[in-house]
Amino acid sequence: MMAMFFAQRVILGKTAYKDVPTVLKPQVKELLEESGLGYLAEE
């Protein structure tokens, strides 16, 4: 659930991927890649 929240914030430009909590980064990256937005998961 929190991973989805942070993925949405990254997509909307509210949070940079580098600011996502470390423990959630793998899940957020996977969600972004599934959405075709994997390029947003670069630090």
What are the domain boundaries of the chain? 2-41
- Tokens of residue 31, six digits: 């969600």
**Residue range 23-42: mean pLDDT, rounded:** 97
pLDDT of the residue at 43: 84
Contact in structure between 30 and 21 (CB atoms under 8 Å): no
Residues 29, 35, 38, 39: is their CA dihedral positive or negative? negative
pTM value surpassing 0.85: yes
Question: What is the average pLDDT value for the chain, to the nearest integer?
Answer: 97
Q: Mutual orientation of helices 2-12 and 25-34 as an angle, nearest 10°? A: 60
